[in-house]
Amino acid sequence: MLVKSKLKYIQSLGQKKFRKEEGLFIAEGPKLVKELLEEEGVNVKEIYALKDWIDENKELLISRDVTEISAFELEKISLLATPNKVLALVKQFDNTSSITTKGKITLVLDDIQDPGNLGTIIRIGDWFGVNQLVCSHGCADVYNAKVIQSTMGSIARVRVIYTDISEWLKSQNNITVYASSLEGKNIADMQKIKEGIIIIGNESKGISPELFALANEKITISKKGKAESLNAAVACGIILSHLS
Amino acid sequence: MLVKSKLKYIQSLGQKKFRKEEGLFIAEGPKLVKELLEEEGVNVKEIYALKDWIDENKELLISRDVTEISAFELEKISLLATPNKVLALVKQFDNTSSITTKGKITLVLDDIQDPGNLGTIIRIGDWFGVNQLVCSHGCADVYNAKVIQSTMGSIARVRVIYTDISEWLKSQNNITVYASSLEGKNIADMQKIKEGIIIIGNESKGISPELFALANEKITISKKGKAESLNAAVACGIILSHLS
């Protein structure tokens, strides 16, 4: 059973302000919650689930804070269009300490505003072993429910920090910064890299001129047809598949 | 002004059944509508727009059926969360005649159910010059408003047909059929192709075993990290960037 104050508390986590204050985010559905429970270093604080899911996952739930709720109650706290058996409150990750770019590939996101795109990019990073991501303050909130759901669990394995990326890029020395543009080296002809910073631009505006000027390698995904642009997450996947 | 019967008529086109009966689809927003108006072979039947958009696009609208409407009326007929100046009724394309796979790359979609993914795949096809797409009956409707909006105009340049893809694949002789799988040739090591059929699988189930058995070349996007899968549209983009 869910007391009213708890219900309101969980609902409040739909808002960034409260998520930040509480240092928590919401994850939903059997697949995602199971993955987070099994991942090392993830702190799943509270679980709210239907009886059948709890019965099916007894072993996974040993010494966990689990509350059995009704389908009706789940509907009230779920942020999904179709609530799916279980909702968990998870501790936000430590994203304050600085990251090292030496010897690694790092993605930099310039105002990726669509939560689905941000989540998909995190999942792409995780696929290609790129586990750090630097977001501009104009990016969607990584703990937004849509981002979390579309990362499909990769949120636990990819470090995401928010910063002034122009300042941050200026502080990075002796490392190649790649930016995609309409004119640049064709990525299909490039060698794989072991180290570098790759900037992915905003969905409609692309990479801002200020950041573009900080890049020392312009790359391009060669076009044969007529589409004006590629989706930001798709472009990110293509670039990493060639360079990483 | 919009008479009530017209308003109801346009609203009915939100449903696949009525779209099919009328042979029309809805396209919205200045960018998409402008692109469709300028594209050869696209039959834009009716346009409903705010005064300022009509004033700005006078030249484009010569001998077009344009109705000036209020922001309030637009809100009533728009399928977008944020209505955007103009809505057009466009004739569906002729997708009944058969397609030729000889000398071309053809995408086959096995139950791509998410409209955003289908639209993004059409846009990716258009980027890489792949202008024909064969959908299973389980795919989202290509004239669904979300598909149309996410194609960003590429809908006018990519031919999409719906068929029983298992039967259709069996009728294709002397052509290589590629299917992505966890074990297969690494696409990064493959030569570019000029001709072939590439199957893209369902978002959660992948390619059905029946179709998979009809493929004669298994390909894979090599993974370095831990993500379980890639988004279907992202995988499609990566495959085309290596093969096309």
DSSP letter assigned to residue A41: T
pLDDT, position A11:
96
Interface mutation target, options B39, B191, B193, B234, chain A, most CBs of A under 10 Å: B234
B229 min Cα distance to partner chain A (Å): 7
**Residue range B43-95, pLDDT digits in tens:** 999 999 999 999 999 999 999 999 999 999 999 999 999 999 999 999 999 87
Chain A positions contacting chain B at CB under 8 Å are 116, 120, 123-131, 152-154, 157, 187-188, 221, 223-231, 233-235, 237-238, 241-242, 244
Residue B6 has pLDDT above 90, yes or no: yes
Backbone dihedral region of B178: left (phi > 0), alpha (psi from -120 to 50 degrees) or beta? beta
Q: Cα–Cα distance between B116 and B136 in angstroms, integer?
A: 16
Tell me the domains of chain A and their CATH numbers. 4-91 (3.30.1330.30), 105-243 (3.40.1280.10)
Q: What is d(CA B226, CA B241) in angstroms, rounded to the nearest whole number?
A: 22
Query: The tokens 């096809």 sit on which residue?
Result: B125
Which pLDDT score, from 0 to 100, does residue B237 have? 98
Amino acid at A104: K
Q: What is the pLDDT of residue A183?
A: 85
| Residue B97: pLDDT over 80 | no
- Which residues in A lie closer than 8 A to residue B187 (C-beta atoms)? 241
- Strand duo A44-49 + A66-68: pairing: parallel
pLDDT at B182: 81
Q: Provide mean pLDDT across the span B190-210.
A: 95
Q: What is the pTM of this model?
A: 0.93
Residue B98 has pLDDT above 90, yes or no: no
* Chain B CA closest to residue A130: B225
Smallest Cα–Cα separation from A50: which of A2, A119, A122? Answer: A2
Query: pLDDT value at position A94?
Result: 83
C-alpha R_g of chain A? 20
Q: What is the mean pLDDT of chain B?
A: 95
CA-based nearest residue in chain A for residue B128? A224
pLDDT of residue A1: 83
Which tokens go with A95? 């994203």
Q: What's residue B196's pLDDT?
A: 97
Q: Give the pLDDT of chain A (244 residues) as one tens digit per residue.
A: 899 999 999 999 999 999 999 999 999 999 999 999 999 889 999 999 999 999 999 999 999 999 999 999 999 999 999 999 999 999 999 877 778 999 999 999 999 999 999 999 999 999 999 999 999 999 999 999 999 999 989 999 999 999 999 999 999 999 999 999 888 999 999 999 999 999 999 998 999 999 999 999 999 999 999 998 999 999 999 999 999 9
Quote the Cα angle for B194-B216-B160, to 5°.
Answer: 55
DSSP for residue A46: E
Residue B154: what pLDDT? 95
| Cα–Cα separations (whole angstroms), residue A225 to A47, A191, B225 | 49, 25, 32
In the three-class reduction of DSSP (H, G, I as helix; E, B as strand; rest coil), residue B215 is classed as coil
Partner residue opposite A241 with nearest CB, options B120, B125, B238: B238
Mutation target for A interface from B230, B240, B244: give the one with most A CBs within 10 A.
B230
ipTM: 0.92
- Residues A207 and A228: their CA atoms lie apart, in Å, by 15
Q: Which of the two residues, A74 and B1, has the higher pLDDT score? A: A74
Residue B207: C-alpha distances to residues A13, A130, B117, B198, B199 (Å): 37, 27, 15, 11, 7
